[in-house]
Structure formats: structure tokens, C-alpha cells
Amino acid sequence: MGYYWQGATTATQTIFGDNAKVTVVNPSPTAYTVIGGGSYCIGGSGAAVGLSNPKAGKNYLLEINGIYSSTQISGTGSAISFGNQTTIGTYTVAALNSSTGCSSDMSGSAIISTNPIPASAIANASQTFCGGTIANLSATPGTNGNAVAWFAAATGGTALSSSTALVNGITYYAESQNSTTGVLQVQGLQ
């Protein structure tokens, strides 16, 4: 009298014995929700991708555009993070139960995209004023931009207040920006 076990790599395991056939079905891991995603500025740190409250003892594997990545994290019973991701695309997660060999896709996905950099602001380089303030300067935001800010330096610094007095011979820099996404582009204007 003996038993034979078959199907170790599938979710169904069949056991044969004397006058008996018992089929054991191992449950797939519970599907939790993929969280995060969004857009980020080119050159930025990306956007976070995670999983809501996955079960402890299971492993969760990140997929990018349908291809498994090398990022695998063990569940904790609390939300887990796969960190910030910079590859543009759709992120999904699969759960792996190493004791049963079962796997299951988690619900939902996170989409990562980048915000386009606005084109340079367009301005007349020889604007003439008798006195005046930054508010008197004129520039048009470039493509993908919806606002212009003025600076006293080509890089870095803080935007000048619209009430800042203009100084003869100083170069002012127009920054085309997208105030919705925060992306900006700098161009000089004298």
C-alpha cells in the first residue's frame, strides 16, 4: 500500500492510493492592489510603485510592460514599496507562493510617464524702459509652458518678484515653465 504524488509545479496536486484518488487544489495568492505611478520631470527621481497590504510570507515580483524585473519583495502585511521607478510604462505585480508553487497577478496597475520640458520662452531681447519693474518685461511661454518667471542668474536662484526694479545693463532670464507639472526651461534675455 503506498501513495504517489503528482503535479508539484501546478496549483493542482493529485494523490493516488489504494482505491482512492484525492485531488488537492492549492489556492492562488490573494490579489492585492498595485498602487502609485504618475508622471515625473525628465531627469527626476521617477514615481513610486507599491502594493497595498500584501500578505506576509508571500513574495511579490514587479513587472514592467509585461516583463518581470529583478525586483522581488516579501510581503509584510502592510503596504510595500518597489521604490521610485523611471522606466516609462505600465507596472503590474505578481505574487509567488514558494511553498505551493502557485502564482497570481495582483489587481490594477501603475503607469509611469514623464512630463515634457517646455520650449524656451520667446522674448524681444532689446526691451527698453525708463525705470520699470520685472512686471514690465515681456515673454511668451514656449510649447508645453503656461507661465514665465524672471531670474537674475542663468541657473539657480529664486524667481524675481514682479515689483523688483529693473537695473540698466543687467541680463534678466525668462524661464518658461509648466505650472501644473513644475517642469521648467531657462533662456536669457537682456
Q: Are residues 160 and 102 in the same domain?
A: no
Helix (H, G, I), strand (E, B) or coil at 161: coil
Q: What is the pLDDT of residue 81?
A: 95
Q: What is the CATH number of the domain that holds 94?
A: 2.60.40
User: Are the CB atoms for 49 and 37 separated by under 8 Å?
Assistant: yes
Helix (H, G, I), strand (E, B) or coil at 3: coil
Domain count, the chain: 2
pTM above threshold 0.85: no
Query: Is 158 within a domain?
Result: yes
Q: What is the pLDDT of residue 190?
A: 39
Q: Are residues 64 and 108 in the same domain?
A: yes
Q: Are residues 42 and 97 in the same domain?
A: yes
Query: Is 14 within a domain?
Result: no
Query: Is 46 within a domain?
Result: yes
**In the numeric block, which cell numbers belong to residue 44?**
527626476
Query: Is 25 within a domain?
Result: no
Query: Is 104 within a domain?
Result: yes
Q: What is the pLDDT of residue 82?
A: 96
- 10-residue mean pLDDT profile of the chain (190 residues): values are 37 54 70 92 90 88 92 89 95 86 89 83 71 85 81 82 88 80 56
Q: What is the pLDDT of residue 80?
A: 93
User: Are the CB atoms for 36 and 47 separated by under 8 Å?
Assistant: yes
Q: Are residues 111 and 138 in the same domain?
A: no
User: Are the CB atoms for 94 and 106 separated by under 8 Å?
Assistant: yes
**In the numeric block, which cell numbers belong to residue 26?**
492549492
Q: Which amino acid is at 31?
A: A
C-beta atoms surrounding 140 within 10 Å: 11
Query: Is 178 within a domain?
Result: yes
Query: Is 146 within a domain?
Result: yes
Q: Are residues 44 and 109 in the same domain?
A: yes
The domain in which residue 50 lies consists of: 34-115
Compute the C-alpha angle 59/63/65, nearest 5°: 170
Query: Is 7 within a domain?
Result: no
